[in-house]
């Protein structure tokens, strides 16, 4: 075999097109006769639409269509509940909800037309917090529902009460997490058109072309066979470009109304209003431990705010309430989680998908209890960590885990023991170290009873390979991984492989990029497809070379007889010969792989994923006790990805995840004032700039998962999970204050320090 790229730093196959500005994003597309779309959004969190007058907007020269709730499809859509109209009809339920849409010959005319639409609103009472929504006297956000509970989960395993009664130490407290905007570079964008055959074609920035197609078909009442969705180059997504926004729907509606191509691109303010941000949760956690720090009982209560529409929030809350149970050897767990409607912008999917919220609470809790027991938190994590070959309390079968190796890596890198044992600091700037651990899924059998992937491999007459897959590359490197796998299996150079962008007309059905599933499921499918292509090559070469197929091997873009390098045929020659013969055809094969997993049972049990990823992070922070500013001065994330098929990509994902975690913990906070987003732009929404981040360091742990391609599993999400609690724990180590309410702002730090000083003074007075 020639030189493979597997396990070696490999630039992404689409990197060159991006850096040279040649990549085609949806906002770059130009089609003949293309119109431009704009959307009018509600300024009120809750109001009745009394009247809409579009007369002046429709009369404006250049305007080709004006849509409202009255003259557009009214089919309700959503993930967990079908409850949302594309354009509001009678009532708006959050500030930013779509009320009207315009298509015009220029973007400026479309914008002017939006300003000419007259809407008369009657403001209605607002429910802005889950607590207010749960009041027995509160009206319902959705009148058809009996109450404001969007979803509720409860389960119990073991004898929780008896375990708490027997515990040496029991600790209970509440934690509050907040909404984070994904902050991708490219705002949401779509181009839609009706082709010459009357079929709807849509180019869009998305996690899943097939999920977009399914929603378009359901809302517009068009058969899926009459819709073509192509994933345009996607400039980041982080969960935000799933199917919770209305961008592609509105572009399609305008294209159908005008029978012309329509491009709809959000500006940044519009994107803040349109995008589902991460789910805010209040988590009350009660844990019992024995004297050695083993967790003997765990009870969780979550109150989550989905906003006006539930979207994917129910699934996010599901992850928060139960996934972290599976990283420990637990027998006694009890949980309740409630998702509540409010008149605020909707929340939903975000990188880590509910894991960030719960891991903040859990890892903070473990740190508190370890300190109370006089134990190193690292040792408490080790004593509770589930092992390979074990089955968790929810029935998850752990095929591989490198968690303990992750703990070793990050603590060694940060000089954990020495820094934890240093003498108390008395100056203005005080340093502390903190640590956290986490787990995540690689795949997830929850959408339906399939968590597989299909890859098509085609060998062209020049011996090159074209791959068709519906799995999305949203910047994480999926196209590169597929190219690496097929190039490795066929022993050809990476540059001889081309991966076609997902296109529902030509690609096999795929779920898309979610639940860190693409590497494990599509990687395995690519192996199956490549080996099927190899078998076809061998079958033909066996005749051509007069040698049995089992005596053949692939070598540097050719098939040769083992031990006889002079007896060989190039892939190009074989590909041509496969066509030009009686009954011949192009070498094109399909490989499918579906994980042998289970959907969750009613009691929230079942092995939902083929593999589970783990990570740990250690940080050092500096706290300025005069200003309250917390600065992360060092960070090391260790990521158990099973096998790093492309270490460069894994490091990029880990460092990006750490940056997002630092932003969520210290800087980013989507603020609402009377239900309206108050900082919906990058000037006021404080994402961390490069000077606010330390030199980000990360390491790879290769636990060799038995179900993964070459031992690999997901590496794009786990690394975001431990950042927030690691920082909070480091702040406690530095100055002795425990902050359970994110983000950790200077104001909160100073308030906690003042309270600490008052308590210390009172204690001295009592003495």
* pLDDT, tens digit, 9 for 90 and up, residues 278-307: 999 999 999 999 999 999 999 999 999 999
As given in the structure block, the two tokens for residue 146 are 């009996």
What gap in Å lies between CA 523 and CA 476, rounded to an integer? Answer: 14
Question: 546 by DSSP, 3-state: which?
Answer: coil
Once rounded to an integer, what is the mean pLDDT over residues 434-451?
Answer: 94
Please say if the pLDDT value at position 402 is more than 80.
yes
766 falls in which pLDDT band (50, 70, 90)?
low
Q: What is the DSSP string of 147-215?
A: SSEEEEEEEEES-HHHHHHH-SEEEEEEEE--------SSPPEEEEEE-TTS-EEEEE--S-HHHHHHH
Cα distance between residue 572 and residue 557, in whole Å:
8
Q: What is the pLDDT of residues 523-572, one digit of tens each?
A: 999 999 999 999 999 999 999 999 999 999 999 999 999 999 999 999 99
**Over the stretch 349-380, which tens digit does the pLDDT of each residue have?**
999 999 999 999 999 999 999 999 999 999 99
SS3 state of residue 335: strand
Pairing, β 169-176 against β 281-289: antiparallel
Contacting residues for 426 by C-beta, under 8 A, at least 6 apart: none
**Length of the chain (residues):** 767
Statement to judge: residues 295 and 377 lie in one domain:
yes
pTM for this model (two decimals): 0.96
Nearest to 571 by CA among 536, 620, 547: 536
| Closest CA relative to residue 203, chosen from 405, 384, 28 | 28
pLDDT, residue 761, reads 79
pLDDT 10s digits, 388-397 = 999 999 999 9
Question: Which token pair is 648?
Answer: 């460069």
pLDDT in the model for residue 27: 95
**Residue 229 three-state SS:** strand
Please tell me the predicted confidence (pLDDT) of residue 726.
Answer: 98
Beta pairing, strands 91-92 & 47-53: antiparallel
413 with 472, same domain: the answer is no
- Among 274, 299, 328, the domain boundary falls at 274
Query: What pLDDT was estimated at residue 764?
Result: 61
Under a CB-based contact definition with an 8 Å cutoff, are residues 294 and 310 in contact? Answer: no
Q: Which domain holds residue 288?
A: 278-445+601-759
Residues 118 and 228 in one domain: yes
**pLDDT average, residue stretch 580-586:** 94
**Do 431 and 467 sit in the same domain of this protein?**
no
Region for 766 from its dihedrals, namely left if φ exceeds 0, alpha if ψ lies in -120 to 50, beta otherwise: alpha
Give the separation between CA 19 and CA 28, rounded to whole angstroms.
Answer: 15
pLDDT, tens digit (0-9, with 9 covering 90-100), for 180-215: 999 999 999 999 999 999 999 999 999 999 999 999
Looking at the chain, the whole-number percentage of residues with pLDDT higher than 70 is 99
What DSSP line would sit under 390-458, residue for residue?
-B-TT--B-----HHHHHHHHHHHHTHHHHHTSPPP-SSEEEEEEEEEEEEEES-TTSSS--EEEEEEE
* 195 and 216 inside one domain: yes
The confidence score (pLDDT) of residue 2 equals: 72
How much is the pLDDT for 80?
A: 84
Mean per-residue pLDDT of the chain: 96
The pair of three-digit structure tokens given for residue 427, joined into one six-digit string: 């100056």
624 domain-assigned: yes
Does 743 sit behind a cis peptide bond, omega within 30 degrees of 0 on the bond before it?
A: yes
More confident of the two residues 3 and 503: 503
In a domain, 175, yes or no: no
Q: What pLDDT was estimated at residue 763? A: 64
SS3 at position 630: strand
59 found inside a domain: yes
Whole-number pLDDT of residue 765: 63
Chosen domain end from 564, 594, 624: 594
Cα 382 from Cα 231, distance rounded (Å): 43
Look-up: residue for tokens 């030189």? Answer: 3
Among residues 538, 563, 594, the one where a domain terminates is: 594
Separation CA 424–CA 710 (nearest Å): 48
CB 318 within 8 A of CB 285: no
Whether residue 366 is found in the same domain as residue 472: no
Strands 465-469 vs 452-459: parallel, antiparallel or unpaired = antiparallel
Contact assessment for residue 296 and residue 165, using Cβ atoms and an 8 Å cutoff: no
Buried b (16+ CB within 10 A) or exposed e, 608-635: bbbbbbbbbbbbbbbbbbeebebbbebb
Dihedral over alpha carbons 404, 406, 409, 413 (to 10 degrees): -120
- Interhelix angle 355-373/377-384, nearest 10 degrees: 120
For residue 711 the two structure tokens come to: 């031992």
Instruction: Compute the average pLDDT of residues 467-473.
Output: 97
What whole-number distance in Å separates Cα of residue 470 and Cα of residue 511? 8
Do residues 188 and 82 both lie within one domain?
yes
In this structure, are 337 and 194 located in the same domain? no
What pLDDT was estimated at residue 446?
Answer: 86
CA gap 638, 632 in Å, rounded: 17
Could you tell me if 357 and 266 lie in one domain?
Answer: no
Q: Residue 138 falls within a domain, yes or no?
A: no
In this structure, what token pair is assigned to residue 167? 């515990």
In this structure, what CATH number is given to the domain that contains residue 570? 3.30.365.10
Q: Which of 517, 656, 518 is nearest to 238 (CA)?
A: 656
Which residue has tokens 């906003």? Answer: 307
Q: Do 298 and 354 have their domain in common?
A: yes
* Contact present, 111 and 266 (Cβ < 8 Å): no
Question: Taking 90 as the threshold, does the pLDDT of residue 1 lie above it?
Answer: no
Residue 691 lies in a domain: yes
Confidence of residue 602 (pLDDT cuts 50, 70, 90): confident
Contact 152, 341 (CB under 8 A): no
Q: Has residue 129 been placed in a domain?
A: no
Give the pLDDT confidence score for residue 426 in this predicted structure.
87
Distance CA 452, CA 764 (A): 64
Q: For residue 230, tell me if it sits in a domain.
A: yes
For the chain, the domain total comes to 3
Q: What is the pLDDT of residue 423?
A: 84
Residue 586, helix vs strand vs coil: coil
Q: What is the pLDDT of residue 587?
A: 97
Give helix 723-735 / helix 647-662 axis angle, nearest 10°. Answer: 50
How large is the average pLDDT for residues 644-658? Answer: 96
- Same domain for 269 and 327, yes or no, is no
**Residue 435 shares a structural domain with residue 480:** no
Give the residue from 106, 112, 100 showing the smallest Cα distance to 34: 106
Residue 667: pLDDT band (50, 70, 90) is very high
Q: Determine how many CB atoms are found less than 10 A away from the CB of residue 680.
A: 21
Contact 240, 342 (CB under 8 A): no
Q: Compute CA 274 distance to the chain's CA centroid, rounded to the nearest angstrom.
A: 17
- Residue 166 falls inside a structural domain: no
């Amino acid at each position: 075999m020639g030189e493979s790229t597997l396990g070696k730093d490999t630039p992404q196959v689409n990197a060159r097109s991006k850096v040279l500005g040649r990549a085609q994003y949806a906002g770059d597309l130009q089609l003949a006769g293309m119109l431009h779309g704009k959307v009018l959004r509600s300024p009120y969190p809750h109001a009745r639409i009394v009247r809409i007058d579009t007369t002046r907007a429709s009369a404006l020269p250049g305007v080709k269509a004006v849509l409202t709730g009255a003259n557009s499809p009214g089919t309700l859509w959503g993930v967990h509940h079908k409850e949302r109209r594309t354009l509001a009809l009678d009532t708006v339920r959050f500030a930013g909800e779509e009320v009207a849409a315009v298509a015009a010959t220029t973007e400026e005319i479309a914008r002017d037309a939006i300003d000419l639409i007259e809407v008369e609103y009657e403001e209605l009472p607002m429910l802005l917090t889950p607590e207010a929504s749960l009041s027995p006297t509160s009206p319902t956000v959705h009148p058809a529902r009996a109450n404001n509970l969007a979803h509720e989960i409860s389960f119990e395993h073991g004898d929780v009460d008896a375990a708490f009664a027997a515990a040496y130490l029991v600790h209970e407290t509440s934690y509050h997490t907040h909404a984070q905007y994904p902050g991708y570079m490219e705002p949401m964008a779509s181009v839609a058109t009706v082709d010459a055959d009357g079929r709807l074609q849509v180019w869009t920035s998305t996690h899943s072309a097939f999920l977009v197609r399914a929603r378009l078909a359901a809302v517009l009442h068009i058969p899926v066979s009459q819709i073509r969705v192509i994933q345009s180059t996607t400039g980041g997504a982080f969960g935000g470009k799933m199917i919770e926004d209305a961008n592609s729907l509105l572009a399609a509606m305008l294209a159908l109304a005008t029978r012309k191509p329509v491009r709809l691109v959000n500006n940044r303010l519009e994107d803040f209003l349109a995008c589902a941000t991460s789910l805010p949760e209040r988590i009350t956690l009660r844990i019992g431990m024995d004297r050695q720090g083993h967790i003997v009982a765990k009870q969780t209560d979550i109150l989550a705010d989905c906003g006006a529409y539930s979207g994917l929030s129910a699934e996010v809350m599901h992850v928060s309430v139960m996934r972290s149970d599976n990283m420990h050897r637990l027998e006694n767990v009890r949980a309740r989680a409630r998702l509540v409607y409010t008149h605020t912008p909707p929340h939903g999917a975000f990188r880590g998908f509910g894991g960030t919220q719960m891991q903040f609470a859990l890892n903070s809790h473990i740190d508190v209890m370890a300190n109370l027991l006089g134990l190193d938190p690292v040792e408490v994590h080790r004593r509770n960590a589930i092992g390979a070959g074990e089955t968790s309390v929810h029935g998850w079968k752990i095929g591989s885990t490198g968690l303990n190796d992750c703990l070793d890596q990050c603590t060694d890198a940060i000089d954990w023991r020495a820094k934890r044992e240093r003498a108390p600091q008395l100056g203005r700037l005080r340093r502390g170290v903190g640590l956290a651990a986490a787990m995540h899924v690689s795949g997830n059998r929850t959408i339906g009873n399939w968590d597989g992937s299909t890859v098509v491999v085609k060998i062209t007459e020049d011996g090159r390979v074209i791959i068709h897959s519906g799995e999305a590359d949203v910047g994480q490197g999926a196209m590169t991984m597929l190219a690496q796998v097929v190039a490795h299996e066929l022993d050809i150079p990476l540059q001889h492989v081309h991966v076609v962008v997902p296109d529902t007309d030509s690609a096999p059905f795929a779920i898309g990029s979610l639940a860190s599933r693409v590497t494990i499921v599509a990687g395995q499918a690519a192996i199956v497809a490549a080996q099927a292509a190899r078998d076809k090559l061998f079958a033909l070469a066996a005749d051509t070379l007069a040698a049995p197929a089992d005596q053949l091997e692939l070598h540097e873009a050719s098939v040769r007889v083992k031990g006889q390098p002079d007896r060989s045929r190039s892939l190009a020659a074989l590909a041509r010969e496969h066509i030009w013969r009686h009954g011949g055809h192009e070498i094109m094969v399909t490989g499918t792989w579906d994980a042998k997993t289970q959907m969750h049972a009613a009691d929230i049990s079942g092995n939902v994923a083929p593999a589970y990823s783990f990570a740990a992070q250690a940080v050092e922070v500096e706290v300025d006790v005069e200003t309250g500013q917390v600065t992360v001065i060092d960070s090391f994330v260790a990521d158990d990805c099973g096998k790093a098929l492309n270490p460069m990509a894994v490091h990029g994902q880990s460092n990006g995840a750490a940056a997002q975690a630092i932003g969520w913990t210290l800087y980013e906070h989507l603020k609402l004032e009377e239900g309206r987003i108050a900082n919906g732009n990058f000037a006021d929404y404080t994402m961390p700039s490069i000077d606010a981040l330390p030199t980000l360091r990360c390491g790879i742990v290769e636990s060799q998962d038995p179900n993964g391609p070459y031992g690999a599993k997901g590496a794009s999400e786990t690394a975001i999970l431990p950042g927030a609690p690691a920082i909070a724990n480091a702040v406690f180590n530095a100055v002795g204050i425990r902050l359970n309410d994110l983000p950790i702002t200077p104001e909160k730090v100073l308030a906690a320090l003042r309270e600490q000083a008052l308590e210390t003074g009172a204690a001295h007075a009592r003495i």
